[in-house]
């Protein structure tokens, strides 16, 4: 009898060990990947802007959620960070002059966004603030944090408005389209005055309003042709370039005086 009970206990224990892995398995977590057709773009002086296409895919998507359209993707192309000075002009004695200014550190020079739907339909505003996602949620760090919050907020809003007015900060609602349940295509806008340097493409995956995963890739934008040669000389031989520029200005002025002088 004791031997029978021991055998039954051994069988139960073996069945428990056999079921434990199956019970402990969890469904795979969704992920996102993006790829660029090129890692560098060359622009010339006649560049008038362009649309950049970014392809991506979802890994381990839930077929039911995909069919219901509850996956959303936000793609951002963020330009290199640089310090920016914002000035405010006031009228003094009939003349407009710069009276106040605010310096911000590490501000993305450009910021283009493409989404599957309007941002307010994808997630709560608090999610975007946590992720610093979207032009309105970018943190503009002031160089002097002792300034009053009202002043900082005023200059921050002016900086965002100025970037949007020049086309450097843009949003393309519907710019991300799913080609299948796990493949998508995003179109972001490159402004005519897009800055050169290393840009970062980032893709954010949301599921039913909840942030899931992020993926990124780098893109180099550089000048080409004669403009690139001038740009390279100005940076590599700045002193000689300065001497040449001053000499050329003096020569031009002298020639202009000879041509247009009155005898």
The answer to whether the beta carbons of residues 22 and 200 sit under 8 Å apart is no
Q: Which residues of the chain have pLDDT under 70?
A: 1-28, 89-98, 225-237, 239-241, 243-244, 257-258, 260-263
pLDDT digits (tens, 9 = 90+) for 140-169: 888 888 888 888 888 899 999 999 999 999
Q: What is the pLDDT of residue 241?
A: 62
Angle between helices 238-260 and 226-236 (to 10 degrees): 120
What pLDDT, on the 0 to 100 scale, is given for residue 2?
A: 47
CB-based burial, 91-128: b 16+ in 10 Å, e otherwise: eeeeeeeeeeebebeebbbbbbbbbbeebeebbeeebb
By CB neighbour count within 10 A (0-12 exposed, 13-18 middle, 19+ buried), where does 154 fall? middle
Confidence at residue 244, expressed as pLDDT on a 0 to 100 scale:
67
What is residue 37's predicted lDDT score, i.e. its pLDDT?
Answer: 74
CB atoms within 10 A of CB 160: 17
Both tokens assigned to 137: 């949620």
Rounded to whole angstroms, the Cα distance separating 155 from 167 reads 18
Residue-wise pLDDT tens digits, 235-255: 666 766 676 677 777 777 777
User: For position 130, what pLDDT does the model report?
Assistant: 92
Please state, in angstroms and rounded to a whole number, the distance separating the CA atoms of residues 101 and 217. Answer: 35
Which residues are registered as beta bridge partners of 88? 100
169-173/111-115 β-pairing: parallel
Helices (H) and strands (E) counted in the chain, each on its own, are 7, 13
Tokens of 59: 């890994």
Q: What is the pLDDT of residue 7?
A: 42
Under 8 Å between Cβ of 107 and 86 = no
The residue count of the chain comes to 263
Residues sharing a CB contact under 8 Å with residue 109, sequence separation 6 or more, in sequence order: 79, 80, 81, 82, 168, 195, 197
* Phi and psi torsions of 244, nearest 5°: -65, -40
**What is the pLDDT, as a whole number, of residue 39?**
79
Q: How far is CA 212 from the centre of its chain?
A: 18
3-state secondary structure of 55: strand
Q: Where are the domains of the chain?
A: 25-81+108-223
Q: Which CATH architecture has domain 25-81+108-223?
A: Sandwich (2.60)
Q: How far apart are CA 226 and CA 186, in angstroms?
A: 32
Reported pTM: 0.73
Q: Token pair of 51, please?
A: 């649309």
| Calpha distance 188→176 (Å, rounded) | 9
């Amino acid at each position: 009898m004791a031997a029978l009970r021991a055998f039954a206990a051994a069988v139960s224990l073996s069945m428990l060990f056999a079921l434990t892995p199956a019970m402990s398995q969890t469904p795979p977590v969704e992920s996102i990947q993006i790829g660029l057709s090129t890692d560098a773009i060359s622009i010339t002086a006649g560049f008038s802007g362009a649309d950049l296409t970014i392809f991506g895919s979802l890994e381990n998507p839930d077929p039911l959620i995909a069919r219901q359209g509850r996956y959303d993707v936000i793609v951002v192309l963020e330009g290199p960070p640089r310090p920016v000075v914002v000035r405010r002009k006031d009228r003094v004695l009939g003349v407009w002059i710069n009276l106040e200014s605010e310096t911000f550190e590490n501000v993305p020079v450009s910021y283009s966004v493409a989404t599957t739907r309007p941002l307010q339909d994808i997630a709560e505003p608090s999610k975007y603030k946590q992720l610093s996602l979207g032009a309105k949620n970018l943190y503009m760090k002031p160089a002097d944090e002792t300034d009053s919050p009202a002043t900082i907020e005023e200059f921050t809003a002016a900086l965002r408005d100025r970037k949007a007015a020049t086309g450097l900060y843009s949003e393309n609602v519907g710019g991300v389209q799913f080609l299948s349940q796990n493949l998508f295509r995003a179109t972001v806008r490159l402004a005519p005055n897009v800055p050169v340097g290393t840009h970062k493409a980032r893709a954010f995956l949301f599921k039913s309003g909840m942030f899931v995963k992020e993926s990124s890739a780098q893109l180099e934008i550089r000048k080409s042709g004669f403009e690139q040669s001038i740009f390279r000389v100005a940076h590599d031989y700045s002193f000689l370039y300065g001497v040449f520029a001053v000499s050329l200005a003096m020569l031009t002025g002298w020639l202009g005086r000879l041509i247009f002088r009155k005898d």
